[in-house]
Amino acid sequence: MLESASKKKWKNLYREQIRMGICYCYLCEKPITDQNDFSLEHVIPVSRNGLNTPGNWRPAHKACNNDKGALTYDEYRLYRQLLAKKHGKVK
């Protein structure tokens, strides 16, 4: 699947932020330090009628994005809280 020019442009912008040390994962809020370990995360998943447009993209670690899957951001945060509680890591 070919990337659109817009998507490539946004990825390059985030890669520049990563290079400068100012790019953070939308999901875990930790710095993204490796340009090969980031993806464009869909805030509203495409599978749930989210658009494949810049307004619906955020930078995320590949592992965080894979973990989120087809969940919305709010569902993902709740899922992470429940996992933390289950494993005794509640703040």
Q: Which fold has domain 5-86?
A: DNA Binding (I), subunit A (1.10.30)
Running DSSP on this structure, what letter comes out for residue 36?
Answer: G
User: Tens-of-pLDDT digits for all 91 residues of the chain?
Assistant: 556 778 899 999 999 999 999 999 999 999 999 999 999 999 999 999 999 999 999 999 999 999 999 999 999 999 999 988 888 765 5
The predicted structure's pLDDT at residue 90:
55
pTM above 0.75? Answer: yes
The predicted structure's pLDDT at residue 63:
96
Phi, psi (5° rounding) for residue 89? -115, 35
- The letter for the amino acid at 24 is Y
Structure tokens at 32: 């993204």
